[in-house]
A and B are shown apart, each in its own frame.
Chain A
Amino acid sequence: MTSLYDEVQAAPGEGVPTRRVTIKVNGADRTVDVEPRLLLAHLLRQGLKLTGTHTGCDTSNCGACTILFDGRPIKSCTMLAVQADGHSLETVEGLASASELHPIQEGFKEEHGLHCGFCTPGMMLAAKALLDKNDNPTEDEVRWALSGNLCRCTGYQNIVKSVLWAAEKMRAESK
C-alpha cells in the first residue's frame, strides 16, 4: 500500500483526503491510496517505483511519459492517477519478457534508435500503439504516429528505422 505525494511530502498530511484505486499495471493489480491531485506519471514513478516512464516537459508536449491506457497511448503526466482506477496500463517495464526483449526494443538496439535514451520509453510505447493497429506502416505513418514524442538528440531518423525494423520482425514472427 502506498499513500503518497512524494513531490509534496512523503505522505498526505493529516486530514488530506485520499481515494483507494486499483489499477492493472503490466498485468498485475496494484491497489494504492492516492490524493486526487497526484498525476499518473508520478504514481508510476514514485509510488510504484516504475521509473522507466519519464517526465520531460511538464507541459504535455514531449511524450516521454507515454504509456498505454487500455491499449491506447496517453501522456501519463496529463492524467490524474485516480482516473486510472479500474483500467489497465502498460509501461516500458511491461515490454520485455524475462529473457527476451520486445521486437520494438530490439529494433531500437539494432538501428541505434537512441542517443541519451530519455525519450525512448515514450517512443516505444507510441510505436507499440501504432503497430498494434497497423502491422505494416509506411515511413510516413510511423512519423505521424510519433509526432507527439520529442527527441532532443535529433535522432528521429534512426527512431523511425527502429520502428520499421520492429514492424518487419513482428510480421515475420506472426506468420
Chain B
Amino acid sequence: MYPSRFGYELPKTVEEAVALLDASGGEAKVLAGGQSLVPMMRLRFAAPEMIIDINGIEDLHYNRVEADGTVHIGALCRHEELEDNAAIAKAIPTIAAAAPLVADPIVRTRGTFVGSVCHADPQGDWAATMTALGGHIVAQGPKGKRDIPIADFVIGPFQNTLAFNEIAIEAVIPAPKGVRVGNYLKLERRVGDFATASVAVTLDMNGDTVAYAGIALAGVGGRTINANEAASALVGKKLTAENIASVAAEVAAAAEPRTDHRGSADYKRQIVKTFVERILLGLLNTSQKAA
C-alpha cells in the first residue's frame, strides 16, 4: 500500500517550517520520525496534502540535562538516543526504563520522543511518561513560542492542542524537587504489539519523604490515563506498604480498560494495581537499602 499524493517540503529552519504550515491552512502534517505517520498514510487513515519534513532542521536534534536537573528533549531526538543514556538515566529513571520498551529496536532508531507525545496514542509510552513527569511541550508558531503543560496538551485519543500552524519543538521536564526515582512497566504479548497495560511512575524524594508523585497509564483506556491525583496521596508522606497498597487500588480504579482479546477489563485493572505496587515497593526497598 502507498500513501495518496502529497506535496513535500524540507525546510532548514523552524521559522521556515512554521511559515509553510501557516500557508497550508491546516492541510499539512509535520514529519519527524514518521513511525506512526507513514503507516497511517499508507493505510489512508491520514491523507495530508502537504508533508513538511523537519529532519533537515539539525537544531532540533538534541537531548540535554541542565545543571539543576531540567531535561530538554528536542523534536528530532530518536527513542534509541534515550536508551543507554547515562545522563538521562540519572535525571529521569522513568524515561530510561521506558525507552527499551517503546515499539521495537528498529522503530526506535527513527521514531521520536516528541512525535510520540504529539501523536497522543492511548497506547503511547511517552505521552504516559510525560503525564507522570508533569512536563511541558514548547510549541513554536508564527507569533513565537509558548509552553503547553502536558495535561493541557494530550487531551484525548490522537488529539493534542497544537494549532495548525505550530510545531512542537521540544519537550521539557522540570527539575526534581529532591532526588528523582521512578520506573516503567509494560505488559505486552510480544515486542511491538499494543500493550495490555503500561504504568509510568515517578517520585521526587526529599530524604525519605515524597515531594512529588506522578503516575500515568497507557493501554488501559481510550486515552492516556492521568492518575496524578491518586498519586498525590503520597506527597508529604514516607512510603509504606500500606499507603502503596492504597494508592495502587486508587490508580487501578482510575484506569478505563475494556475487555478485548488481550484480556478482560478486570484482568487489566489487576495488572495496573500489581505494576503500581511492584514499582513503588521496589523504590521503597531501594531507598531502605541505600539508607
Contacts and interface: CB of A to CB of B under 8 A. Distances in A.
Interface of A: 5, 7-8, 16-17, 19, 35-39, 42, 58-61, 63, 66, 69, 72-75, 77-80, 82-83, 126, 144-145, 147-149
A44 to B, nearest CB: 14
B8 A145 contact: no
A78 B40 CA distance: 10
Given A36-B51, A63-B106, A148 B192 contact: yes
A73 B108 CA distance: 9
A147 B31 CA distance: 25
A10 B165 CA distance: 36
Given A42-B2, A60-B35, A78-B39, A83 B53 contact: yes
A59 B247 CA distance: 38
B105 A19 contact: no
B1 interface: yes
Interface in B32-46: 34-35, 38-39, 41-43
User: For the side of the interface on B, what is the size category?
Assistant: 20 to 34
Interface string B14-36: 00000000000000000100110
Given A74-B109, A79-B110, A60 B5 contact: no
Contacts of A149: 106
Contact of B106 (A19, A37, A73): A73
B3 A59 contact: no
Given A58-B42, A61-B192, A79-B34, A39 B2 contact: yes
B86 interface: no
Given A73-B105, A73-B109, A147-B192, A78 B2 contact: no
Nearest to B42: A58
B38 A148 contact: no
A72 B79 CA distance: 13
A72 B2 contact: no
A36 B109 contact: no
